[in-house]
Amino acid sequence: MYLNHIVEAIGNTPLVKLNKVTEGIRGTVLAKVEYFNPGNSVKDRMAFKMIEDAEKAGLIKPGGTIIEGTSGNTGMGLALAAIAKGYKCIFTMSDKQGKEKQDILKAVGAQVIVCPTDVAPTDPRSYYSVARKLNAEIPNSFYPNQYDNLSNTAANYESTGPEIWTQTDGKVTHLACGVGTGGTICGISQYLKEQNPNVFALGLDTYGSVFKKYKETGIFDETEIYPYKTEGIGEDILPQNVNFDLIDMFLKVSDQDAAVMTRRLAKEEGLFVGWSCGSAVHGALEYAKEHLKEDDILVVVLPDHGTRYLGKIYNDDWMREQGWL
């Protein structure tokens, strides 16, 4: 038995019980460990589906170029799909992303263009704008736009959600997941709520992002937007993949709490995961302390791998510079 290409290894990631960091928590907390995907993140699922759906719709032809704005993980998934299917890749990234992410994308053959973080999404220098501009200029190019491309949500509805339902024998009661593009939490939540409408979906946001206030008030408050360090969650826009009806509640997690929990997961659980994984677990446990009951099963999605963050949160000197160690 062998796979015809590495992309056939996407999905069927393990569900692992958290034991040490959950001390004092009632109920069971399980981690969906997405770094077992070949590109080491949950984004492999939706990246491959966006390309497959684009091919079916005739949006990209053989020999074409995939152009996307990414914080790193979607780019990796798209790059693996591109290698399997013979496409070229150009990715735009904000300059707050670690150098490891740039180097990993270059290693799999992508061209990487680094753009400033501290500009408005509509600014021509933003990584959103640069990706759109390149798409307009380069013939036979496809801009997946993971934020508004509903294949993102569909991929998690079709794969991650059913996996969690099966792995918990249909006993899952709570879902916790960081929210960036929104496709992961909304796809999983939609599937789980169709099986059991009482499943509670907790979205983890970060300070400097608009999601929590928008959910609670319906107001897009630009004063909520300011630079933050955590990579991969929070937004200064409202992506179409964020369906607020499928997310019951948001909690915000600070950069420091997320970084510290990420390092705890490595040392105490043996889970060498990425920064937003710490956000998800810290927020999930804050919620669980107040609300989880003995028979409840909370599944928290751990989206990516620690190799993306070696120069930052796994670097003692960097952590000391932030005052977090």
Given the residues 20, 32, 43, 96, select the one marked as catalytic: 43
- CA-to-CA distance for 158 and 167, rounded, in angstroms? 15
Total number of residues shown for the chain: 325
- CA-to-CA distance for 97 and 71, rounded, in angstroms? 6
HEC per residue, 63-103: CCEEEEECCCHHHHHHHHHHHHHCCEEEEEEECCCCHHHHH
Cβ pair 276, 249 in contact under 8 A? no
Q: What phi and psi, each to the nearest 5 degrees, are found at residue 22?
A: -95, 10
For residue 305, the 8-state DSSP code is B
H or E, element range at 167: helix 161-167
Does the annotation mark 88 as catalytic?
no
The residues assigned a catalytic role are 43
